[in-house]
């Protein structure tokens, strides 16, 4: 207990340099809004030297950071799916930190896409989720690891509860976040010999802009319909596909607008002498992660069906009375 509690003491800030990355699409988190925006402000207030990656350095989110934060915050143009922008950001950060080094990298990228059945999600959406939620974080990590190894610093990857809990309608998003968790877990072991500590944040149920706007939903719905074969579209029916938007509305109304638990966990991950390997901010994140890991599959699937019972809509074929007879 002495070793545990002594390891929870927070190290002095001393203007340690921190890079916060962001996603590559309008609905991504990043420093334009959501977790990234809140983190940039919060860490700047604590006295860190913050490099805030944004998708559009001339956008309103970037301008607000420049206007409200201290001179120790720098806004960087950083699309994490663009290799050239990653290299340019690395050069700028390296030049500014010089011998002081970079203390932490916080990979905050995330796109959700349209929540729907895995069979209906176009391959372009699977690839987009992997490009932002996984490959982008991997490329940024690889680019900045020389600086982290030099400072014996911290790597913090913001994943999701959906990366550890199988959630219906989240096949693309959940798979990409699960890949990020495994990548982080392996690097945690490999980088320990360099003195670099790796943590994963798995938030659950916070209100950010990751769910997108009505216009984005309409675009995603058209993409889904345009990429379905006639057979699949006939089996599911257009009414069922378009009804999936109800989950996005539910996410906007049932999520917590207070993101402070996420900010506090990130602070602990980059400041504690012995940070945790995993953090699960959010009222139900930790219980759900434990339940998914330790409960029998049958019990978990039964409870999952009960939770999703709010959605009474069924695919067209399954809603017909003669479906079972046709199947037999």
Backbone angles phi, psi at 79, to 5 degrees: -95, 115
User: Which residues are registered as beta bridge partners of 14?
Assistant: none
Spatial CA neighbour of 237 closest among 168, 167, 313:
313
What CA–CA distances, in Å, run from 7 to 55, 116, 142?
36, 43, 28
Residue 35: burial class (beta carbons within 10 Å; 0-12, 13-18, 19+): buried
DSSP code, position 204: -
Q: In what order do the strands lie in the sheet with 104-107?
A: 73-77, 49-54, 17-20, 104-107, 154-158, 197-201, 278-279
- Name residues whose C-beta falls within 8 Å of residue 313's C-beta, 6 or more positions apart in sequence: 239, 240, 243
Nearest to residue 110, comparing CAs of 209, 11, 191, 206?
Answer: 209
Active-site residue, 173 included: yes
Among candidate residues 217, 201, 181, the one with its CA nearest the CA of residue 265: 201
Q: Which of 173, 236, 240, 279 is catalytic?
A: 173
Q: Is 103 exposed, middle or buried, given 0-12, 13-18 or 19+ CB atoms closer than 10 A?
A: buried
Handedness of CA 170, 176, 179, 180 (dihedral sign): negative
- Give the residue carrying structure tokens 């046709």: 326
Q: Tokens representing 129? A: 């989720």
The set of catalytic residues is 173
């Amino acid at each position: 207990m002495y070793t545990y509690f002594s390891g929870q003491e927070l190290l002095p800030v001393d203007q340690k340099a921190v890079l916060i990355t962001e996603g590559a699409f309008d609905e991504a988190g990043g420093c334009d809004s959501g977790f990234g925006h809140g983190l940039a402000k919060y860490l700047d207030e604590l006295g860190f030297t913050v490099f805030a990656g944004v998708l559009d350095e001339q956008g309103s989110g970037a301008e607000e950071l420049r206007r409200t934060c201290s001179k120790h915050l720098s806004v960087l143009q950083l699309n994490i799916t663009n290799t050239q922008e990653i290299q340019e950001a690395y050069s700028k950060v390296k030049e500014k930190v010089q011998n002081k080094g970079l203390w932490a990298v916080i990979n905050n990228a995330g796109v959700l896409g349209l929540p729907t059945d895995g069979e209906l999600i176009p391959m372009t959406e699977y690839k987009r989720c992997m490009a932002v939620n996984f490959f982008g974080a991997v490329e940024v990590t690889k680019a900045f690891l020389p600086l982290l190894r030099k400072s014996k610093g911290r790597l913090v990857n913001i994943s999701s509860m959906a990366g550890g809990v199988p959630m219906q309608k989240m096949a693309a998003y959940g798979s990409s976040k699960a890949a990020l968790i495994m990548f982080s877990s392996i690097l945690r072991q490999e980088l320990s010999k360099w003195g670099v500590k790796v943590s994963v944040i798995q938030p659950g149920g916070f209100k950010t802009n990751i769910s997108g706007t009505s216009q984005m939903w309409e675009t995603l719905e058209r993409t889904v319909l345009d990429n379905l074969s006639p057979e699949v579209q006939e089996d599911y029916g257009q009414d069922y596909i378009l009804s999936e938007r109800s989950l996005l509305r539910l996410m906007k109304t049932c999520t917590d607008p207070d993101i402070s638990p996420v900010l506090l966990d990130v602070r602990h991950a980059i400041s504690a002498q012995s940070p945790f390997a995993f953090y699960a901010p959010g009222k139900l994140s930790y219980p759900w992660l434990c339940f998914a890991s330790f409960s029998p599959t049958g019990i978990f699937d039964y409870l999952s069906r009960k939770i999703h019972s709010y959605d009474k809509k069924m695919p067209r074929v399954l809603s017909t009375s003669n479906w079972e007879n046709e199947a037999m």
